[in-house]
Amino acid sequence: MPTEEPGDLPRQEIINYTVQTGDTLYGIADKFGISADTIMWASSRLEDHPDLLKIGQVLTILPIDGVYHTVVANDTLESIAQQYKAEVSAIIECEYNGLESPYNLSLGQKLIVPGGKKPYQPRVVHAYSGPIPQGAAVGTGSFAWPTSGSITQGFKPMHQAIDIGAPTGTPITAADSGCVVTAGWSEYGYGKYVVIDHSNGFQTLYAHLHTILVEVGQSVGKGERIGSIGSTGRSTGPHLHFEIRYNGVQRNPFGYLPER
């Protein structure tokens, strides 16, 4: 499978693309003229963490939108089409599949399902439910921007957060008052990260930090510095990955932050 750059893409075959500094899932999709869903569904590791790319990660880029399916035992064209809510005729007529009558499938065979869709399965997050130290600051319910920079990726179904790009070392501050309930290294791609519980149903998460300046159990005020921007974990460049959660559900931060 060839490896190519967006500008060289002939759009006639499946290619590999190596993630570069500053790439985002939606940015890569725009470069190649296909949907972010299509890229995510063709790269299993990305499907688990669609908002956390890593420099050097290799993505499968299809020439058209759809699902890239690997044939397993008992698969038929009919069952594959039904699985992805597509038409059997679309799979057969897709020139990239090279299918010929009587359309026998083999284990491990790769097929593009044009127009196919996988059901979206939101990432599960778990709100901290441990004790909050007595006297810890309580959130005001009004959030402030946690850092200064440019929005490099917004809130989308597969990226339930916002990314704010800025140079390494740029200060990060608490978006609202609360208690630090997590401060350390994430095993899920966030790198160095901090979670603040605001004791009103809200939590905020700050990821990919270069330095962490707070500890678990520490009470912080709104606007108090908690760390600095970095590119730790699965990140393609220095930025802050910022989430607002309410009762464990990720919400669109743009709905809570003041206009810039």
CA distance linking residue 160 with residue 259, whole number of Å = 19
Is the confidence at residue 57, as pLDDT, over 90?
Answer: no
* Residues 155 and 115 grouped into a single domain: no
Coil/strand/helix, residue 144 = coil
- Per the domain annotation, does 143 fall within a domain? no
CA distance linking residue 155 with residue 3, whole number of Å = 30
* Residues 163 and 247 grouped into a single domain: yes
In terms of DSSP bridges, do strands 58-61 and 15-18 run parallel, antiparallel, or are they unpaired? antiparallel
User: What's the structural domain count of the chain?
Assistant: 2
- Per the domain annotation, does 144 fall within a domain? no
* Residues 83 and 186 grouped into a single domain: no
* Residues 115 and 171 grouped into a single domain: no
- Per the domain annotation, does 30 fall within a domain? yes
pLDDT in tens, 92-146: 999 889 888 888 899 999 999 999 998 766 544 444 556 666 777 888 888 999 9
* Residues 14 and 52 grouped into a single domain: yes
Contacts of 37 (CB under 8 A, 6+ apart): 65, 117, 118, 158
- Per the domain annotation, does 208 fall within a domain? yes
CA distance linking residue 148 with residue 150, whole number of Å = 7
pLDDT in tens, 160-196: 899 999 999 999 999 999 999 999 998 778 999 999 9
- Amino acid symbol at 179: C
- Per the domain annotation, does 77 fall within a domain? yes
* Residues 179 and 241 grouped into a single domain: yes
* Residues 100 and 179 grouped into a single domain: no
Q: How confident is the model at residue 124, as a pLDDT?
A: 47
- Per the domain annotation, does 134 fall within a domain? no
* Residues 101 and 182 grouped into a single domain: no
Residue 230: give the domain boundaries.
150-255
CATH classification at residue 187: 2.70.70.10
pLDDT in tens, 132-153: 667 778 888 889 999 999 888 8
- What stretch of H or E contains 193? strand 192-197
Coil/strand/helix, residue 48 = helix
Residue 230 CB neighbours (<10 A)? 22
* Residues 171 and 94 grouped into a single domain: no
pLDDT in tens, 10-51: 456 888 999 998 888 888 989 999 988 899 888 866 665 655
- Per the domain annotation, does 131 fall within a domain? no
CA distance linking residue 253 with residue 154, whole number of Å = 9
CATH classification at residue 12: 3.10.350.10
* Residues 116 and 178 grouped into a single domain: no
